[in-house]
Structure formats: structure tokens, C-alpha cells
Structure 1
């Protein structure tokens, strides 16, 4: 294993390599959840609005 400066920095901070990757996985999981909720909210709020606008516009004409 070559001396990677990034890994050395994490060692200095008291994080082993495995702990670093665990932290990375946690952050990834949180980001995936955030994206999931973001798209869920988009679908729930924007799609019905678009459909209802088309529907009402069509009927008001």
C-alpha cells in the first residue's frame, strides 16, 4: 500500500480506513434518502398541479 496523503490525513484525525469508508457509506445513505424524498415530493406536488392545471384550463375554456 502506497502512502496516500489523504489516507494519512484521516489517520492523523484518528480515523482508520474502515471507519472512513463507513462514514462515507453513511453519508451516501443519507444522500440517497434525501434524493428519494426530494423526488417523492416532486412527484407528489408538481405532477398533480400540472394535471389539475391542464384539467381546469381545458374546462374553463
Structure 2
């Protein structure tokens, strides 16, 4: 009995390039879905209070 074929990559490269190999679409901000809720709550407060200090510094300058 003849040995069976174990592996081939024939034609796969041509098939992949017919429509072009595209990079994944990048979004401006990553999704926070599935992130630790305690961390997210702290992140919100940090952003909020960070804005408050920048406004104070701009008015004094």
C-alpha cells in the first residue's frame, strides 16, 4: 500500500494573495469589554480628576 500524503501547502499562497492579505482594522480605542470592573471604576475617577487639575493649571498660567 502506498504511503499517504502528510502535508502540502501548494496553492495556498496564491489563494491568499488573490484578494490581498489585509491588516486587521485598528480602532482608536481598545474595547474595555471583559476588563475588571474595579479597575474600570478607578479609571473613570482618575480621568475625571485628571481633567479637573488641567483646568486649574490653565487658568493660573
TM bucket, shorter chain: 0.3 to 0.5
TM-score (normalizing by structure 1):
0.42
Quick one: higher RCO (CA 8 Å, sep 6+), 1 or 2? Answer: 1
TM-score (normalizing by structure 2):
0.42
Higher helix proportion, which one?
1
Over alpha carbons, which structure has the higher Rg? 2
